[in-house]
Amino acid sequence: MLKKIMSLYANSVLYTEQPHHTSDQFYIFYDESERNWLTIPKTSLTEKELNLLQVLYKQVKIPSMPSTTLSRKWHEFLLLNGSKPSLSSESNFRFIQFHIKGNGVDQSEIESAIKGFFPDEVQIIWEDDHNGIVIEERRQLSLTESELTSIADTLESDFYVKVSFYIGKINPFSSQLRNHFQQEKEYFEFAKKNITSTNIITFEKVFPAFVALNLPDYIKDKVNNELSAVFLEDPELYTTIKVFLENNLNASLTAKKLYIHRNTLQYRIDKFIDKTGVQLKDFYGAFTVFLACLLYEDNMHKN
């Protein structure tokens, strides 16, 4: 079948063995039944055609090799289980992972734009066309969460792509650094699939959902039985309560974000308390209800 598809696109190439080096201007698709690989120029495919080919065939992504010696060392250490780069053991590093949604991403332009936002030099390595890692040595206070939000907005405006970031923790340079990165990578992969309310992810934001969705089914059922029926009856109540909890029980900020009057907000909160008997004024009540919100949201996505 890939042979027939190849005839539709100029400059596409069919391989009987997986290509290990190719231009980042090509997509690669693999036919498992015939064990063939087809490369197609990115400019030849519409978004609809790309989506169809991704359904029919496995898309193979070959990471772009970093351009500098240090970035290649980081690439080998983090992604290929290579040895540590030769750096001072007294250094501290932070990994900021990013994911780009959109087609025709120009890696060099995106990389240059991201580097321009950082006050100090950073290394950037790419896992594939849409995923990369900023490696930041912490010499001074660097970009905050709000500043990264602004960067994401700027990149979307300039390049017409949506960008999400996972802000890693600061860790000393040691043999355990790769393990810390792999854990953060697991959290980011989870967030990309399950958290859509924000494009800036941190451990604190992802971990409650990570725990909630990995609970045993019998515990999920207990939480759902206690609280989810209220949300099923009144989905608007779920939205109100979740935004209220996400904004640290700040009524003014919640009302502003929901575009409702504070009296309307208070009415909905009182309604929830009356129906469930669960208060939201302390940590225990807020934690329990937030857990229920996360499980309800997951069920809605599945349905």
Quickly name the fold that domain 215-302 has. Arc Repressor Mutant, subunit A (1.10.10)
**CB-CB contact of 92 with 178 (8 Å):** no
Rounded to a whole number of angstroms, the CA Rg of the chain reads 23
Q: Count CA atoms closer than 13 A to 35's CA, side-chain side.
A: 2
Architecture of the domain spanning 69-205: 2-Layer Sandwich (3.30)
Domain boundaries, the chain: 2-60, 69-205, 215-302
Q: Are the C-beta atoms of residues 151 and 117 closer than 8 Å to each other?
A: yes
- Model pTM score: 0.76
pLDDT (mean) for 259-273:
95
- The reply to whether 215-302 shares the fold of 69-205 is no
Lowest mean pLDDT among 105-109, 249-253, 256-260: 105-109
Task: Say which residues have a Cβ less than 8 Å from residue 167's Cβ, sequence separation at least 6.
Answer: 94, 96, 145, 148, 200, 201, 202
pLDDT of 150-159, one tens digit each? 999 999 888 8
- Cβ–Cβ < 8 Å for 195, 201: yes
Report residue 270 CA to chain centroid gap.
35
